[in-house]
Structures are given as structure tokens and as C-alpha cells.
Amino acid sequence: MQLSPCPSHATLARLAARPASDRALAAHIAGCAACTQALAELRVLGAAMSRAPLAEPQTTDCLDEMAVARIVDGGIRPAEIAHAAGCAGCRSRIADVAAAGSTKSVAAEVERIESSRPDWRRRFLGTAGLAAAATLIFVFAQQSSGDRASEVDTYRDPAAMAPVVPALISPLDAVVMRPVALRWQSTPDATQYHVTVFDAEGSIVWDSETADTTLTIPGTVPLVHGTTYWWRVEARVGFDRWSRSDVTPFTIGR
């Protein structure tokens, strides 16, 4: 007998990779033969995929540390997607660095370091660098015009070449009471904002889109007292182009 409606296939795909922390969901799966079988099939398929032969690695295109870091930061290039999909070594390096960066301690240190350098891009670019950046933005624009207009081709601006990033206003590393109102400055040329709230493990707790510069996290979102969450804003600044703020923490007050 089913305790609740069956989860979506997307939810089962997520559960195939990691156990359910939701007790109600776990109870449903334990009591639903269809979901149990579907989940078991997905897990078997996932395990078989780890043994499946992939395309031969293109060793001359393997990624160096800067490229791996750029990809982890969200700046993958179209050609690198195909390489990473076929090269177990490069994918392993990307996954390792991403997983390390998602741990609470590393994420906290990264935020501490990066938050004290709001203008690191300008410091590094300098006058000559801005001209180089403008050239590269032109090159990317030329490349984008020839790409298929599809979800797959939505890629992030490399961090160093990003246009103005959304500036977060509040909450900034503060203790706040519910309901939590998120505010940020408007970004030039932005037509839409996508807001994401993460927990300490990097899982998305809530996300939403707005054309405004403020959003309030609904009361139905389970935010735990005394727990720190992270949030960021992505501004849509062009066709398939987004500019992303850094993630900033806030803690739910008791």
C-alpha cells in the first residue's frame, strides 16, 4: 500500500546516487514495489555505467589546474564538455575538486577568502587586461552566434570575463529571523534574476526567479533554527548568458 504519491523519476534518479534523508520518502519507497524496483534498476544502471568503456581520452587536450578550477567555478567551454565526458582522468579531477569545494570547511574558507576581495577581477585584469577581456568577450560572442540555440549550449561566463555581477545587499553573513527577505542590487542589462539557497552540503534548499531585486523565502521552505544556509543570485544579462554572484551565508536565528 502506498503511503504517499510516488516520487517523480527525477527524484528517483537523485536517490539512486545518494540515500533519501526524507523519512516520508524513504518510507514510501520501502512500501512501494514499483518505486523499489525502479530505484534498484537505476542503481544497477549507475553501477554498470561506472564500468562502461568510454571514448578514448584525448590526452593532448587534458585539463590543467587553471582549467579545472575554471570549470569548477562554472566556466566550462563547449569543447571541454565533450573532452570531460570522454576522459575519466579529467572528469575525476573535476569531480574531486568540486567535491572538496563543496565540503563545509572548504566552502567556508573559500567564502572567507573571496569575500575579502570583491574586486579581485579588476585587480588582476588591470588596464591591459580589460582590453584582453573585451577581445575575449567578442570572441565568445562570435562563437555563441554559431552554436545551436539549446539548453545544452547555455554556459557560464568565465569568472574573469564576467560582466558586472549581482551585488548582494542582505542578508550578508548575518543571523536573520524568518521570513527571510533576500535583497540585491540591480545588475545592468539584467532582465531576470535566479536566486538559489543552499544548505551546508551544497544541496539546493530553494530556488526561484524574479524580475525584481528582492525575494522572500516562503514559509513552506524548511529552514532550521541555528542552521547556516548559503545564497546567491544569477542575473540574466543576455541570451543564454548569466552573471553570478558569490555565495554568501546567513543563519536562521532562534
Sites for other proteins among residues 11-30 (CB under 8 A)? 11-14, 16-18
Residue closer to other proteins (CB basis): 47 or 225: 47
Q: Residue 100 interacts with other proteins (CB under 8 A)?
A: yes
The three-point CA angle 127-128-130 to 5° equals: 70
Q: Residue 106 interacts with other proteins (CB under 8 A)?
A: yes
Please give the distance of CA 58 from its chain centroid, rounded to a whole number.
27
- Whole-angstrom distance, CA of residue 137 vs CA of residue 158: 10
| Shortest Å, Cβ 37 to other proteins | 9
Q: Residue 114 interacts with other proteins (CB under 8 A)?
A: yes
Of the candidate spans 22-30, 102-110, 176-184, 218-226, the one that interacts with other proteins by CB under 8 A turns out to be 102-110
Of the candidate spans 117-125, 137-145, 167-175, 182-190, the one that interacts with other proteins by CB under 8 A turns out to be 117-125
Residue closer to other proteins (CB basis): 27 or 100: 100
Q: Residue 137 interacts with other proteins (CB under 8 A)?
A: no
Q: Is 46 helix (H, G, I), strand (E, B) or coil?
A: helix
Q: Residue 73 interacts with other proteins (CB under 8 A)?
A: yes
Q: Residue 221 interacts with other proteins (CB under 8 A)?
A: no
- Whole-angstrom distance, CA of residue 85 vs CA of residue 138: 27
Q: Contacting other proteins (CB under 8 A), which of 51, 145, 177, 188?
A: 51
The three-point CA angle 221-225-227 to 5° equals: 90
End-to-end CA distance of the chain, in Å? 39
Of the candidate spans 20-28, 47-55, 210-218, 220-228, the one that interacts with other proteins by CB under 8 A turns out to be 47-55
Q: Residue 34 interacts with other proteins (CB under 8 A)?
A: no
Sites for other proteins among residues 176-215 (CB under 8 A)? 194, 196, 198, 201-204, 207
Q: List own/partner pairs for 132-139 with CB under 8 A and 24 or more apart.
A: 133/160, 133/161, 136/161, 137/161
Q: Measuring CA to CA, which residue among 252, 166, 172 is closest to residue 217? A: 252
User: Which residues on adjacent β-strands are paired with residue 182?
Assistant: 215
Assess contact for 194 and 242: CB atoms under 8 A: yes
Q: Contacting other proteins (CB under 8 A), which of 20, 29, 35, 84?
A: 84
Q: Residue 163 interacts with other proteins (CB under 8 A)?
A: no
